[in-house]
């Protein structure tokens, strides 16, 4: 059974001006997501700025999210690292806190071989019992999980169950689903949700869902029900907004969008900096055009 089907939000982490985590606002974001129908929360991923958190802070945010959600929907903890031992330790800790599953990115910077990827993900899988979703995002990591490698891992490690595909390569995704019918494939790109689900994907791990959770959930629900005409309309209507959300590197625009929505997302941590005025104006227009209204 899939960890979740539908829309999983790659939730942003709000900060105070001094850079500390704003847990009160984080709770508001979590409650907003659950109320709006989001199917799962992915905490401490790229959008959550985990890369600039200490390991202790990272796990505090994971535990807080798990405790706040309290099993109402699945919580998937981002526990990936370019150091296998660090990924193992973070994964074990997240499991001890009650995470429903883990999202583990390919080792970045090291540029592991396919053999290295098998060893890396196998070490994590052997250390925990909860499900693991691999995260394949070569544009950020410089490392790509080949379809045969992903299929091998799913075949040989029972708790490696899925992959977040942010490659932009639908042909490779189709090949993976052809050779491995047991893998749950999630789109890692908001502009490709419906195309990937038409091939057999089960949902999305989404940036868009931070500000449009109801629409993202509905798009996935329609696709899961076989109503691809309805799902396609939402997907196409969202194109300008998705483009605006990626006008600068994620999560720069989405944190501005969350602020526009009426939450206190706070600043970004360096080396990320505030969105440009030009892109901020484009983002607000795209939100308005998509019908996103500020929360009172």
**Active site residue: 5, 63, 68, 164, which one?**
164
How far is residue 140's CA from residue 50's CA, in Å, rounded to a whole number?
14
Q: What phi-psi label fits residue 203: left (phi over 0), alpha (psi between -120 and 50 degrees) or beta?
A: left
**Active site residue: 135, 152, 186, 255, which one?**
135
Query: Is 294 a known active-site residue?
Result: no
How far is residue 161's CA from residue 217's CA, in Å, rounded to a whole number?
21
Write the DSSP assignment of 63-101 as a string of letters. Answer: HHHHHHHTTSS-EEEE---SSHHHHHHHHHHHHHHT-SE
Query: Is 97 a known active-site residue?
Result: no
The residues that are catalytic are 135, 164
């Amino acid at each position: 059974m899939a960890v979740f089907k539908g829309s999983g939000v790659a939730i942003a982490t709000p900060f105070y001006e001094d850079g500390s985590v704003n847990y009160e606002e984080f709770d508001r974001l979590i409650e907003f997501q659950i109320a709006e129908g989001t199917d799962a929360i992915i905490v401490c991923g790229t959008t959550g700025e985990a890369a600039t958190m200490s390991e202790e802070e990272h796990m505090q945010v994971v535990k807080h999210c798990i405790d706040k959600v309290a099993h109402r929907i699945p919580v998937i903890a981002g526990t990936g690292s370019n150091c296998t031992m660090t990924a193992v330790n973070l994964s074990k800790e997240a499991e001890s806190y009650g995470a429903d599953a883990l999202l583990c990115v390919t080792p970045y910077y090291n540029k592991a071989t396919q053999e290295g990827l098998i060893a890396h993900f196998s070490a994590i899988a052997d250390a925990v019992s909860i499900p693991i979703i691999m995260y394949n995002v070569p544009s950020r990591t410089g490392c790509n999980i080949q379809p045969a490698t992903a299929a091998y891992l799913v075949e040989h490690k029972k708790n490696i169950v899925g992959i977040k595909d942010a490659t932009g390569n639908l042909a490779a995704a189709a090949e993976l689903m052809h050779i491995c019918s047991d893998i749950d494939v999630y789109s890692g790109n908001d502009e490709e949700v419906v195309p990937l689900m038409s091939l057999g994907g089960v949902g999305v791990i989404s940036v868009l869902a931070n500000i449009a959770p109801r629409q993202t959930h509905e798009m996935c629900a329609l696709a899961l029900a076989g109503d691809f005409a309805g799902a396609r309309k939402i997907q196409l209507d969202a194109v300008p907004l998705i483009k605006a959300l990626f006008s600068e590197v994620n999560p720069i625009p989405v944190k501005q969008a969350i602020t526009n929505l009426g939450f206190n997302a706070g600043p970004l941590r360096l080396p990320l900096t505030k969105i440009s005025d030009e892109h901020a104006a484009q983002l607000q227009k795209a939100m308005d055009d998509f019908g996103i209204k500020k929360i009172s």
